[in-house]
Amino acid sequence: MSSYPLQCSVSNSDGTLLFLVVKSTILAFKQQKGEFEQAGRWTDTLFETDSQQDGVKKLKSNKGEAVKKADSPAVGSAFSLQIRNLTLTPDESKLIACADSDKSVLVFEIDYNNPECLKLVKRQPFPKRPNAIAIGDDGDTIAIADKFGDVHQMSISGQVLASGEESQPILGHVSMLTDIIMAKDSAGHRFVITSDRDEHIKISHYPQCFIVDKWLFGHKQFISSMCCPSWNSSLLFSAGGDDSIYAWDWKKGTQLSQFNYSGLIKPYLTNAHLAAERFQNDEKDVIEYAVSKVVSSSNAHCVAFFVEATKCIVLLDVCPETGSLTLMEIIEFPSNVVSLSEANDEFIVTLDTHSSGNGRLVEFVTREADTGLFKVNIPKCQTFEKALAAALKNENQVGSNATDLYPLYNTISLKKHGEHYS
């Protein structure tokens, strides 16, 4: 029996406050004098009451009521991750998250002095499940990209809209949205960058979202993740089902480079990467893999990514002028990587210890000042693990049922197989 993995993390910029998600609970940790202690905990009680129905796909009737689909077990993303997209506002006074239980965006006030630092101040449900969020430069506007392809916006401080008054989307794709970024060019013009399950990255003006600036063409497969580094505002990195990481100058609309990782990832692929039965060939050796997440470092000219269900993260060196990508290092872990986030040149990696049976749940990868290389910060990991173990003492343990862990490995399910002929 090992603990359920932490599926998402975010840290403040000086690393003193860390938020993690385990199932439907958000845990907050404070670092003081080198020691971590639990600073808050919030559990989505809506999920608890809903959990009896888990695993049953629901349909919406024409009157808008939820109807259980008879005898059909849910497949794919219908097993929900419960809480996703942890994001801190730029002033680090609020934490934003998305709850799958009622498809809502959650706003927490962070009170650093209170022993329970998380205070839910807003819960705004949306008609479709939010898949990704981005915070605008005013620190108050959030753009929410949903599973149905629409982008809604919401003010953090504004009133909660009642269920009747639906907000109109500000832009949309006819495809599931996978990531969203709010960006600014040197002239001060603002943009929304959205990526989808088809191969599209669309750049729209903001707040004039009805004016599409351009598309970035080049991906051959779905896109799962994008990031813009803070040290070069015209650079954009994107990745997903393709076996390359793409670097773009999104302002000019040009592709700067591609980094093909298919060779280096081969040793890390396992039977878990064999394609599903119905997509297999006669030899049963079709493998499918995808990048789950790509993040950039705050100061170092570097991006990190990981391929779903592998035990490593890959760090790439970025030439800030040309955007070309070269391999810097591969950092291996004892178990599969589940999530990756970054704060102040430190990568926070959460692991699925269920895949190996033991080991730490969270690893901190910090940059060594003298060599510029990234290394696992073992003392920090060990101190944190103690605090985490205390916090997770009463948490549900993960059973032997593999479907419990399925929601951690669903990026590849975005892959299109062109099943519909006519």
Partner 1 sequence: MKTKPLSQDPGSKRYAYRVNKEENRKELKHVKIDENSVAQKNGKLDLPKKKFYRQRAHSNPFSDHQLDYPASPDEMDWSKLYPHFYDQETGKMAKQVTIADIGCGFGGLMVDLSPEFPDELILGMEIRVQVTNYVEDRIIALRSNHAKEEGYQNINVLRGNAMKFLPNFFHKGQLSKMFFCFPDPHFKQRKHKARIITNTLLSEYAYVLKEGGVVYTITDVEDLHHWMVKHLEEHPLFERLSESWENEDKCVSIMRNATEEGKKVERKRGDKFVACFRRVQTPEII
For binding to partner 1 (CB under 8 A), which residues are involved? 60, 62, 148-150, 168-169, 171-175, 189, 198-200, 204-205, 207-212, 214-215, 217-218, 220, 416-422
Whole-angstrom distance, CA of residue 16 vs CA of residue 243 = 36
Q: Which is nearer to partner 1, 300 or 412 (CB)?
A: 412
Q: Look at the alpha carbons of 408, 409, 412, 417 in this order and tell me if their dihedral is positive or negative.
A: negative
| End-to-end C-alpha distance for the chain, whole angstroms | 47
Cβ–Cβ contacts within 10 Å for residue 393, how many? 8
* DSSP calls for 308-338: TT-SEEEEEEE-TTT--EEEEEEEE-SSEEE
Q: Which is nearer to partner 1, 284 or 420 (CB)?
A: 420
CB of 179 to partner 1, least distance (A): 17
Burial letters 122-132, b for 16+ CB under 10 A, else e: bebbbebbbbb
Q: Which two tokens stand for residue 71?
A: 């005898």
Residue 341 Cβ, how far from partner 1 at the closest point, in Å?
A: 30
Q: Which two tokens stand for residue 83?
A: 């809480």
Q: What's the rounded Cα separation, in Å, for the pair 384 and 362?
A: 8
Nearer to partner 1, 110 or 414 (CB): 414
Return d(Cα 281, Cα 273) in angstroms, integer.
Answer: 14
CB of 415 to partner 1, least distance (A): 9
DSSP secondary-structure letter at 408?
Answer: G
Q: In which element (H, E) is residue 383 found?
A: helix 378-392
Nearest approach, Cβ of residue 192 and partner 1 (Å): 11
Q: Across the beta sheet with 336-343, what order do the strands follow?
A: 336-343, 346-352, 362-367, 374-376
Smallest gap from Cβ 211 to partner 1, in A, equals 6
Question: In this complex, which beta carbon is closest to partner 1, that of residue 49 or of residue 208?
Answer: 208
State which residue, 136 or 172, has the beta carbon closest to partner 1.
172
Please report how close the Cβ of residue 149 comes to partner 1 at its closest, in angstroms.
8
CB-nearer residue toward partner 1: 188 or 263 = 188
Nearer to partner 1, 244 or 377 (CB): 244
- Rounded CA separation 315/333 (Å): 14
Q: Spell out the alpha helix ranges (H) of 211-315.
A: 262-265
Query: What's the min distance (Å) between Cβ of 375 and partner 1?
Result: 39
Based on CB atoms, which residue is closest to partner 1, 123 or 415?
A: 415
Tokens 């620190």, located at residue:
139
- Closest CB to partner 1 among residues 210, 370: 210
In the complex, least distance from residue 110 CB atom to partner 1, rounded to whole angstroms? 33
DSSP string, 278-307: GG--TTS--B---EEEEEE-SSSSEEEEEE
Q: Per-residue b/e over 187-208, b at no fewer than 16 CB within 10 Å?
A: eeebbbbbbbbebbbbbbebee
Helices (H), 198-311: 262-265
Least CB distance from residue 138 to partner 1, whole Å? Answer: 14
| Closest distance to partner 1 from the beta carbon of 37 (Å) | 46
Query: Which residue, 200 or 380, has its beta carbon nearer to partner 1?
Result: 200
